[in-house]
Chain A
Amino acid sequence: MMKEINRSIGTLSLEQLVRFAGAVQDFNPVHYDPEFAKAAGLPGVIAQGPLTVLVALDALIAANGAANLQGFQARLKAPVLPGAPLSITCSAEGKVSLKAGDTEALAGTLISSQAAS
């Protein structure tokens, strides 16, 4: 069983997006070029999907401990814009929801070490 959580996890800054781009070599312009992002039909630059996934995973690790986890399956449902307030919930069964404002940006399933073994 997972620890149930329901809490705010702050925001992502543009600086974090740029730092993440450098760390994982993800230089898709939608993450730093507002004009390119708008041409792609987005309201502005958006957070990298993997960054959104890892921010959620970080909150889940904080609650459960990395040693108790073996995987995370995430569906990205809406883009996360820098500055949007983020909140996360996780059920005892490992069902995860990350919201940016009122919009669900990520829905996922957390896999425990016990479940995988």
Chain B
Amino acid sequence: MQSNRKGQVLLKANLVAHSVKLEELAHALGDTPTAGETAALGLFFGPTVVGYRNFVDSIGLDLERALLGGHEMTWSRAFRPDEPVVAEMSMADYSEKNGMEIGVIETRFSTPGGELIQSQRTTFIERAVKA
């Protein structure tokens, strides 16, 4: 993981909360009675909004040593079908502990007018290289 990316904006993207994607996600959740509502809150996973490879490359993450340690979501409302969304991802924190690297990625999802819809903080842990 590249510690020098701490505090930097990593990626910015213009997205659409496609209704088809909402349906796909609800299906992935097992089409439970509330899957549609859950999909409208969890449509985007910050680090992969512009493709997981772009994210991995942006911080130099080694996938064979990487684990997702935590994920926090705070929302003011659900995403609306087919609304445009602006996503901005930054590395909010970086630390090292017991040979592991820990990076916190913050992604903010807003309307083009600047209304914050949802923010996410995602913690990645990169395990130490085995000797």
Query: Which A residues lie at the B interface, using CB under 8 A?
Result: 10, 16, 19-20, 22-30, 36, 39-40, 48-51, 53-55, 57-58, 61-62, 66, 70-76, 111, 116
Contact = CB atoms under 8 A, between A and B. Distances in A.
B111 interface: no
A71 B32 contact: no
A23 B29 CA distance: 11
Interface stretch (B2-10, B67-75, B92-100): B67-75
Interface of B is mostly: mixed
Interface in B1-48: 21, 24-25, 27-30, 32-35, 37-45, 48
B24 A58 contact: no
A53 B41 CA distance: 12
- Give the secondary structure class of A's interface: helix
Contact of A72 (B24, B44, B73): B73
Contact of A61 (B24, B28, B38, B73): B38
